[in-house]
Amino acid sequence: MLNKIKLTSIYIFSSAYIFAGIMHFVNPDFFLTIMPNYFTQHLFFVYVSGFAEILLGLLLIFNKSRRVAAYGLIILLICVFPANIYLVESELSQYLLNINKSQTIIRLPFQGLLILIAYWHSKNI
């Protein structure tokens, strides 16, 4: 039963990462809004992270590449965390995305949860 739940979650998260990655190309302005000012080449990093999400989401589907994909997702989630912190700090970004500071703070722990789920996905079924 646990294996079916895990496999289902792998497919759900794979689809979610692929969709999120595609959105980096379809609507880059959303992601540009949360890019910290201390980074340069914002659009480049939006596209690179989108490509990484698509690639890692696809690799997560297959048993042979799942472990690499899961660890890649962990690294990616850590790398994009500064954008989530910037969103908490930036009133302009919050205004542009029509969210409040409380909502941005509530989002932060989900990054840790996503990391734990990616780690769980790295283990054999």
Q: What is the pLDDT of residues 35-90, one digit of tens each?
A: 999 999 999 999 999 999 999 999 999 999 999 999 999 999 999 999 999 999 99
Confidence label for 124 from pLDDT (cuts 50, 70 and 90):
confident
Kindly provide the residue ranges of all beta strands, DSSP E only, lying in 39-114, ordered along the sequence.
none
Its sign, for the CA torsion 93, 95, 100, 103, is negative
Using a cut of 0.85, tell me whether the model's pTM lies above it: yes
- What integer pLDDT is reported at residue 102 of this predicted model? 96
Confidence label for 117 from pLDDT (cuts 50, 70 and 90):
very high
Model pLDDT for residues 14-37, shown as the tens digit of each residue:
999 999 999 999 999 999 999 999
53: closest CA among 72, 35, 36, 34? 72
Is 80 exceeded by the pLDDT of residue 118?
A: yes
3-state DSSP helix/strand/coil % of the chain, to nearest 5? 85, 0, 15
